[in-house]
Amino acid sequence: MAAWRYHDQGGVNFRNSSTGRRRAVTRRRWPLLAAALVVGLAVLSCTLGSSTLTGGPSGEISDGERMAALDDIAKVAQDSMLQDGQIDRGVMLDHLTSDSHFEAAGQAPDGSIWANFKDGRMVIIPPETPYASGEEPQTIPLPSLPFNSSSDGRAFPDNSLTSFTRTMTSSGKLSAMIVAQDSTEYDFPKSEVAMTMSSLGYSFGDASEWIDRALRKSKYVSAVLPATVENLAAVQNVGVFYFATHGGYGCLGKSNDCLTLYTPSPKTPGPPAHDLIYALWTSTPTSAAQDAAYTQELTDKLLAYMLADPGDSKPIEWHYAITGKFVSTRMTFSENSLVYIDACSSQGIAESFRTAHASWFIGWTLPTRIGDRPFYFFDRLLGLGHDVSDNVKRAVPPNRPFDVVSVMDAMDRLGLINEPGPDGMSTLNLFRFGGSGLILMPSIERLVVDEQAKELEILGSFGGEQGSVTIDKVEVAVKEWASDKILVNLPSPPGPGSSGDVVVKVRKHESNAVPLTMWKVQFTYTEEPDFVFTGYNWLYLDVYWRADVHPYRLSPDDQVYDQEQVKLEPAEGSSGRWECDWSGTFGELSISTVEGEGELPFTRKPGAVGFTSQAKLDPQGHQITNLEFLLNFDEEHTCVTETTGAGYTVQTVGSFVLLPSLLSEVSPDYPMTPPLILDDQWVLERGNRDLMSHGQWPWLKWDEAPGEHAPVKDKTPG
C-alpha cells in the first residue's frame, strides 16, 4: 500500500497592514520558522516554549474581556506581517505570553500557535504555507461537469463553478508511502448520504460544490452545506464526507505537556498521547452571544477559538473550531464510510474520526496547499472522465471508476500526494479503520464469454450487495454475484440482450458500459462447374462470434491492456444451409438432383449431423485467425441425385455436394463420408466470405467485418 497526500485547505492568509493588499491566496500554509528566522537566523524552532503567565484575572473571564483579547490578537496578527505576507510568530507569541488573560501559550510542531485562557478555553492560530522565493502560483480553471442540472432537479448555470480560480504551485518529483491496508473484497458505503462542506471562500479554490454535483450525478443523496457548528453536529450516519477548511493544534493542558515534540508518522494517524488536540475551522464566527450558546462546548473543549482567513478578500476572522472531542462525540459515520479532511496537518484528527466509526480516512501529515487533488480523486473514484487541470488531463480512453486504494496509488504515481515545505514533506495519507475495499461506483474491468455454458463472466469491482445486469438495456438473469465477479446467463443471438453494452447497476449507481461485441459472418461455398454438367452447389454457414475486445486498465491513468488471445467458438444461433441444382448427361446417362435444398444445423456434439467451427481471437492484431470448420452430412442433409439410363434409375446420396478439388481431403473410397475437415482451403473475400480453394489460411479483420456494438476507439472506458 502507499501513503498519500492531498491539497489541504487549512492555513491563514493575513492582510498586510502597511499595503492593505492581500497576497496570492493559498489553501494550506506552512509553519514559519520561529522568531529567529525573522531576524535572519537559520534556526528552525519546532516548538516555541510555552509560558505559564502570571498576573491578571483568574478564574472567570467576562465576555467583553474575552472578545477584546481576541480582537487584540487579530490586530497583532495584521500588524506583524513579514515581507512575504506571513505572520511573525515570535511577535505573536510575545503578545500571548504577556497578555494576563492567558495562562499558557506555545507553538505546535506543525507551526500552529496555541494559547489557553485562564478559564481553560483554547485559542488556535493555524500555520501558513508560503510560496518559495521567486515561485509563482499557477492559475488553474475548475473542471466542469457535462450537465447543467442535478439528478434531483436543482439547476446550475454553465459557469457556476468556473467564475473563480484556485492556485497551485508545481513541485518536483515526489514520493510517498502507503499506509492503508488493502482488501480483496469491495463494497459501497452503507449509507447513500454524502455531505461536502467548506469554511473557505472561492478564492481558495473550494472543491466542495463540484464534488457535491459529481456525487449527485452519480446518484448519491448529496448536499453541500456551510460548515457551521450546527451543520457539523448534524453529520450523522454519513457515507461520504468531504471538508475543506483550515486546521491546527491547540493544547488541552496547562503545563509543558504540549511542548512534547510531535513528528508525524506515516504509519500512525494522530499525534502521540499528550495534550495537543487538533481542531478544524468552522464558518461560524465568534461572538459574545454565540459564546453564551456554546458555553458547555467551550468549557469541555469540544470547541476552540481559531483565527484564520475566510478568503474572497475578507479580513482575517475569529471563528469557532471543532476539536477531535467534538468529532468523536457529536458526529457518526456509516459502515465502509469515507472521510476526506482537506486541511493542514489533518492527519492529527484521524483517530477522532475512527472513534466516530469512519472506515476510511484521508488527511495530511503537515501543512500543504491546494491543487487539483480533490478533483482528481473524486473524478477517478466516480469514473467521470474529465480534464482535471492543465497538469492532469483526461485519460484516453476514459477511466472506468476505480476503488479508493487504486486512485491513491495513481495519485502517488503521478506525484500528487506529496508536497515539500519548511518542516519537511507533507504527505496525503489514506487510512483504513475497518470495512471492505471502498468503491463508490460499480466498475467493469473486462468480460469473458463461455458459449458452451451460455454464460458471461463480468470481472471488476461490484460490492457484496447484489444488483442487476443489462446487455443492450435488456436485463439478464444473474447466476452468481461476488464483490469482484458476476456470472449471468447469456441469451443466444440474434435475440434481445445477446450483444451490446453491458452495464452493472447497484442501488442507483451504474457502472461503465463495456460492449459485448458480436460478429455475424456468412461463409459461402459455391461450385459452378464448366464441364458437361450445368447447375450449382451452394453451402452457406452463418456464424455468430461474441467477445470483449475493448482495451482495459488495472489502475487509473495507467497502461491500457488488450484482451488476451482466446479460442473463439460460434454462439448458439449459428446456422447453415445448402442448395444444389444439377443436370447433365454423361454418355447414355442422364443425371439430375431430386432434392435441392436443406438445413445444416450448428452443433457442438462430436459426430452429430451439422457443422462445428473454431477460430482464434487476436484482439491485439484486431483480427480473427486460424478458422476451421467441421462438416457432417447425412442423406437428409445433402443433395440426392438421380441417374437414369440403360433401362434403370439410381439415386445417390451426397454425390455432388462439395467441389471435387476437396476430395483429396477425404477417403477416396467414400468421398462424401463425414467428417470432412476443410483446412487450408478457404479465403475470405468482400462482404461475404467466399470459401474457395485458391486461398491461404483465413483471417478476418475488424474493419472488414465490423462487429455489432463494437467498442468505439478512445471512448469506451477502460
* pTM attached to this predicted model: 0.80
Output the pLDDT for position 164. 20
pLDDT < 50: residue spans in the chain = 1-58, 129-182, 260-265, 272-273, 655-697
- Tell the residue number behind the cell numbers 467428417, with chain if given: 675
In Å, what is the CA distance from 64 to each residue of 60, 71, 96, 294? Answer: 12, 11, 18, 16
| pLDDT tens figures, 676-702 | 333 333 333 333 444 443 334 456 777
Q: What is the spatial distance between Cα 155 and Cα 152, in angstroms, rounded to a whole number?
A: 9
| pLDDT tens figures, 321-338 | 999 999 999 999 999 999
Count the neighbouring beta carbons within 10 Å of the beta carbon of residue 64.
9
Contacts 24+ apart (CB under 8 A), 656-661: 656/527, 656/533, 656/537, 656/580, 656/582, 656/593, 657/537, 657/539, 657/578, 657/580, 657/633, 658/525, 658/527, 658/537, 658/539, 659/525, 659/527, 659/537, 659/693, 661/693
Strand duo 648-653 + 623-632: pairing = unpaired
Q: What is the spatial distance between Cα 157 and Cα 149, in angstroms, rounded to a whole number?
A: 8
- Tell the residue number behind the cell numbers 446518484, with chain if given: 219
Ranges of H-type helices in 311-390: 324-330, 350-355, 373-382
Q: What is the spatial distance between Cα 96 and Cα 98, in angstroms, rounded to a whole number?
A: 5
Question: CATH assignment of 443-512?
Answer: 2.60.40
Count the neighbouring beta carbons within 10 Å of the beta carbon of residue 657.
24
Report which secondary-structure segment, H or E, holds 463. Answer: none
Residues near 371 by beta carbon (within 8 Å), at least 6 away in sequence: 7, 140, 166, 168, 169, 389, 416
Say if residues 619 and 636 touch (Cβ distance below 8 Å): no
Output the pLDDT for position 529. 56
Say if residues 512 and 383 touch (Cβ distance below 8 Å): yes
DSSP of 655-710, one letter per residue?
Answer: TTSS-GGGGGGS-SSSTTPSPEEE-S-----SSSEE--TT--S-EEETTTSPPBTP
Output the pLDDT for position 257. 61
Q: Where are the beta strands (DSSP E) in 291-385?
A: 303-308, 317-323, 333-342, 360-364
Handedness of CA 556, 557, 561, 563 (dihedral sign): positive
25 closest CA partner among 198, 205, 210, 164: 205
Q: What is the spatial distance between Cα 408 and Cα 386, in angstroms, rounded to a whole number?
A: 17
Each domain of the chain, given as residue ranges in start order, spans 35-125, 138-438, 443-512, 519-701
Output the pLDDT for position 701. 74
Residue 478 three-state SS: strand
Output the pLDDT for position 702. 72
Output the pLDDT for position 528. 61
Output the pLDDT for position 630. 76
Output the pLDDT for position 270. 52
Report which secondary-structure segment, H or E, holds 70. Answer: helix 63-79
- Tell the residue number behind the cell numbers 442422364, with chain if given: 590
Beta bridge partners of 581: 536
31 closest CA partner among 50, 9, 46: 46
Output the pLDDT for position 174. 23
Q: What is the spatial distance between Cα 247 and Cα 263, in angstroms, rounded to a whole number?
A: 17
